Each structure stands twice: as C-alpha cells, then as structure tokens.
Amino acid sequence: MKRTTLTLAALLCCLLMAAPAGAQMLQFGVKAGMNMTRIDWGNGWDENMTGIFIGPTAELTIPIVGLGVEASALLSQKGFNADRDHSKQLGLDVPVSLKYTFGLGKTLGIYLAAGPDFYFDFKGEKNGVERKRAQVGINVGGGVKLFRHLQVGVNYNIPTGDHFSLKEAGSAIVKGKDKTWQVSLAYMF
C-alpha cells in the first residue's frame, strides 16, 4: 500500500514538473458578451430579446490533461425591449462548467464545456408577470483559446423549469421559460 502511494505521488510530481513553465493551473479574468434570449410562453407566443453580461471569471486547469473547471459571476441582462418591460431580466448569472481543452500548439486551443447555470433575478414581479427569483439551467458550449489569454466562446443555456408565470384574461396561468444563447469574450490574466 505504501509503495503504491509513493509511486502515485512521484508520478504526480513528475507530471507537474513536466508541465510547461508558462502553464498556469489557476487563472483569473474578465468575461463579457451578449445574451440572445427566446422566451417560450407555451401558448404559441414567443419573445426574442437581446442583452449583455459582464463579470469576473476563474479557471482551474490540470496542465497536461486539459481538464478543468470554470466559474463566473456575471451581471447579466436577459432581454432589452422597451415595449415589453415585463419580461426584461437583470440578475446575477453563475455558470460553473467542466471544461476540456484540446491543444493545437502553444497559441491555439479548442474547448468544450458543460455544467449547471444558476441565475438570480434582481427584479421579481413586474406588470403581472411573476418571475422566479432563482433559476437553474444547464450550460453547454465550446470555444477557442487564443494566445493563452483570450477566449471566444458560444454557450446555450437549457432551462430545467419554468421561469415566468402570467395570468391572462379568464384567470388562465401561462408559464414561460427562457432559452439563451451566449456569445462571450474573456481575457485571462
């Protein structure tokens, strides 16, 4: 048992020492981009809106393997439409993704990412539309890493439940969920 433990520890030390000197396991950065949201009300009525997001991000990566975890805290606006103020959202978006990067040399990499997405709405109810204060979704995406500092990505947020409820005339309750595409640019320090 001791021999196996010592062998694994020595192997781990060799792997970490063999990592390139410029490779960093933990990086911090800033991420910004655009939300393209479609709210599906389930009654044949859909809304398409755009918004923006910005905030800090952190990435922990195992250097040689290319597997890592990325987490962000983004001030996120979903929907910007003056005519439909009831469905605009402003909140904190916290995506946590497991990330796998394929290296294509020192200056280029392609990554795939997936994980949960937590959204906390700041506004609550507006014009008869009740919004859930906390929403959970699944984030799936990919992108390109350039020059070890820039990342360009595309994500799709799949909702796991309804996010809105609206009383229509006749007391019928219509439920809605938002599905969001995100295009992002991140700079890692």
Q: What is the pLDDT of residues 90-123, one digit of tens each?
A: 899 999 999 999 988 778 999 999 999 999 988 7
24-188 fold: Porin (2.40.160)
pLDDT band at 20; cut points 50, 70, 90: very low
> Which pTM was predicted?
0.78
So what's the pLDDT on residue 39? 80
Q: What are phi and psi of 38, to 5 degrees?
A: -120, 120
**Structural contact between residues 155 and 187, judged by C-beta atoms closer than 8 angstroms:** no
Top-confidence residue, 78 or 164? 78
Q: What is the pLDDT of residues 41-63, one digit of tens each?
A: 766 677 788 999 999 999 999 87
So what's the pLDDT on residue 48? 86
pLDDT band at 156; cut points 50, 70, 90: very high
Count the residues in the chain. Answer: 189
**Structural contact between residues 131 and 105, judged by C-beta atoms closer than 8 angstroms:** no
* DSSP letter (8 states) at residue 42: S
Domain chopping of the chain, boundaries: 24-188
pLDDT band at 64; cut points 50, 70, 90: confident
Mean pLDDT estimate for the chain: 81
Give me the amino acid identity at 160. T
**Alpha helices, DSSP H only, in 19-95?**
none
CA 48 to chain centre: 20
Q: What is the pLDDT of residues 161-189, one digit of tens each?
A: 877 777 665 555 777 788 899 999 999 99
